[in-house]
């Protein structure tokens, strides 16, 4: 099965070192939650996040929401020919069930993911729709065991989607970044069989994923 990994994703609950910042305290009090039950979000916690490690790659859960909405709506996913995993900067992995119907509203998505981080699993009728595990990117690849791992970045070899789709097999793993700015760290990129770029300038991750998956649908899958 073709696999999509959204790697180094900007998805985490508020770290303990920020729990006493006034903007965090105010937000948690307003929402009647503890800091560990709230997603770190640059839209609300910008002041608290200034100067933290990896600042430009954190606090953007909306990016993951957009990618999942785009990819879980594709014919590939709906026909159970695509598996999707979200790998976070903190080495957690979310497994996405093929039965998932994600909320279109970001606020409902936020609540769902906050519940997932707390309970580790979202189930319905005994079926796990979302599951959260401690897992590195390397460990995830060992679990998937793909024939090849193709990463996408502006640092990659310039290509077009049609040409890339010709080298993708049914057991390939496609990797896109789940962060706003920057590049994959070395620990991640060294796992790639190939690193490609589909456009001279930076594109949002959900656009890259949609274009690649569309070409895969046309050429070998549907």
Annotated domain spans of the chain = 1-11+57-222, 16-56
CA 124 remoteness from chain centre: 22
CA 188 remoteness from chain centre: 14
Read off the pLDDT of residues 132-164 as tens digits, 9 standing for 90 and up: 999 999 999 999 999 999 999 999 999 988 888
Average per-residue pLDDT in the chain? 93
pLDDT (mean) for 19-40: 94
Superfamily of domain 1-11+57-222: SPOUT methyltransferase, trefoil knot domain (3.40.1280.10)
Confidence of residue 222 (pLDDT cuts 50, 70, 90): low
Residue from 136, 54, 152 nearest 93 by CA: 136
pLDDT at position 128 over 70: yes
Query: What is the pTM for the complete model shown?
Result: 0.94
Residue from 1, 5, 9 nearest 179 by CA: 9
Backbone φ and ψ of 13, nearest 5°: -80, 165
- What integer pLDDT is reported at residue 185 of this predicted model? 94
Backbone φ and ψ of 99, nearest 5°: -95, 5
pLDDT (mean) for 78-86: 94
């Amino acid at each position: 099965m073709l696999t999509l990994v959204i790697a180094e994703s900007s998805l985490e609950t508020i770290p303990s070192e920020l729990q006493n910042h006034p903007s965090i305290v105010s937000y948690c009090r307003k929402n009647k939650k503890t800091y560990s039950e709230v997603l770190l979000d640059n839209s609300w916690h910008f002041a608290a996040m200034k100067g933290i490690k990896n600042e430009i790659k954190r606090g953007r859960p909306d990016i993951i929401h957009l990618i999942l909405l785009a990819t879980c709506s594709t014919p590939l996913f709906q026909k159970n020919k695509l598996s999707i995993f979200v790998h976070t900067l903190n080495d957690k992995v979310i497994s996405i069930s093929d039965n998932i119907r994600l909320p279109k509203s970001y606020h409902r998505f936020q609540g769902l993911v906050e519940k997932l981080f707390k309970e580790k699993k979202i189930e319905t009728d005994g079926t796990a729709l979302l599951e959260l595990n401690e897992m590195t990117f390397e460990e995830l690849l060992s679990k998937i065991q793909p024939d090849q791992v193709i990463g996408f970045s502006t640092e990659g070899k310039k290509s077009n989607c049609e040409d890339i789709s010709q080298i993708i097999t049914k057991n390939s793993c496609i990797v896109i970044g789940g962060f706003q700015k920057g590049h994959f760290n070395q620990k991640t990129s060294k796992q790639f069989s190939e690193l490609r770029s589909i456009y001279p300038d930076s594109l949002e991750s959900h656009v890259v994923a949609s274009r690649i998956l569309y070409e895969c649908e046309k050429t070998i899958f549907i």
